[in-house]
Chains A and B, each alone.
Chain A
């Protein structure tokens, strides 16, 4: 599994960082998503959940 994020679409809601802080973070400047680990082995379920919860469709999971 691989994750892609699009900070341009991000609305800074923080759902990703809340769901899995080991995979997602938010920038201190504008709160947009920062991807810490694009291939998060062992965190697949959380990554899918984050993509589902993201209100702005900014997270893509490529299986």
Chain B
């Protein structure tokens, strides 16, 4: 087997809704290929659906913070290696340590609990769509709808007063901005840490009917652990869904026959959401793992300590898993995509995200049946510079 060394992760897209073409070529020829990481480490890039699932489900691949090497740069420079995860920051832990924290939250995110939130989410969506109408044609749908809806939902769940959202929205955005120097990203992270730590302190005096209070009341956690778990939910809970609402709307508007089918039969929404997740794969440079021991994978040996970058967007366009993967088709069975990851770290908030999208898209197109872009599609600013892909703005018009 000829082994090519890729000097960097392919990131340049030839069209806004498609992954870099190079990833598709790699998936055909070398679904696990040698990749040089920006910090000089030699590792691997996985582009097929089968191998992506294999790595993500295998406990011999670690997600511990201090072992990772980032496949991308911040401000043009390699991202320095990180210290071990702070207590409660379970996304960057393995095994029992990870499971202990995750278990304390999984009961809060069951399918049943999330379904119980539907009326409240519908009300939040309704209020924001009224706002969109009030602002009138030309309104930016990101600012008026896509960002505030998931933001408000996660604020309510955690017990963050919505007035406080502006600072953490700004700081979360900074976290994912790849053009910023790492020091700036770090500083934004620390500001969110301080904010949540303060919030947890206040919850002792003013307990509420929210998840942070609930975590405090388990009596099993230190304040620092509660704060870090809360931080994780706060950061993960709004940028991702917000960007799916934004770029999902752009995608539907760009496929009028699909949108017409959805409008004619709103029960297609469940499938539409899965297909949008698959087709768009907005976590554009994830996921990453590090081998804890030598592992045979797809005909190569990944050596202990080597990082593996798993391209979710390449996996979700794998023709071995999805027929005509380049086509956006809301009728296809799209389940089995890895947009929420796979394995024990699979997104904890995925059922909430699904519901926000289902309620959000259906209400949007019911309220504005003739919704259309207010600018040519080529002028919609895409988030090539962000770790979470999407649109920076989405100016729309309606009658």
If A11-B102, A14-B351, A49-B335 touch, whether A55 touches B343 (CB-CB below 8 Å) is yes
Quick check: A12 and B57 within 8 Å, CB to CB? Answer: no
**Across-interface contacts of A37 in B (CB, < 8 A):** none
Whole-angstrom distance between the Cβ of B312 and the nearest chain A Cβ:
13
Quick check: A31 and B344 within 8 Å, CB to CB? Answer: no
B109 an interface residue at 8 Å Cβ cutoff?
yes
Cα(A19)–Cα(B56), bound, Å: 21
Quick check: B111 and A12 within 8 Å, CB to CB? Answer: no
Quick check: B343 and A26 within 8 Å, CB to CB? Answer: no
Whole-angstrom distance between the Cβ of A13 and the nearest chain B Cβ:
5
Question: Which listed residue, A11, A21, A31, A52, touches B336 by the CB 8 Å rule?
Answer: A52
**Across-interface contacts of A13 in B (CB, < 8 A):** 340, 346-348, 350
- Name A58's closest neighbour in chain B (CB-CB): B344
Cα(A22)–Cα(B335), bound, Å: 19
**Chain B: interface size category:** 20 to 34
Cα(A59)–Cα(B249), bound, Å: 35
Q: Which of A17-32 contact B (CB under 8 A)?
A: 17-19, 21, 25-32
**Across-interface contacts of B340 in A (CB, < 8 A):** 13
- Name A25's closest neighbour in chain B (CB-CB): B112
Q: Which of A26-58 contact B (CB under 8 A)?
A: 26-32, 49, 52-53, 55-57
Question: Which listed residue, A19, A26, A55, touches B110 by the CB 8 Å rule?
Answer: A26
- Name A12's closest neighbour in chain B (CB-CB): B106
10 A-B pairs besides A13-B348, A18-B351 with CB distance below 8 A are A12-B107, A17-B111, A17-B112, A18-B111, A19-B335, A26-B107, A30-B103, A30-B106, A32-B103, A56-B57
Could you pull out 28 A-B pairs where Cβ atoms are within 8 angstroms?
Answer: A11-B99, A11-B102, A12-B102, A12-B106, A13-B340, A13-B348, A14-B109, A14-B350, A14-B351, A15-B346, A17-B112, A18-B354, A25-B112, A26-B106, A26-B107, A26-B110, A28-B107, A28-B112, A30-B103, A31-B105, A31-B108, A52-B336, A53-B335, A55-B57, A55-B341, A55-B344, A56-B346, A57-B57
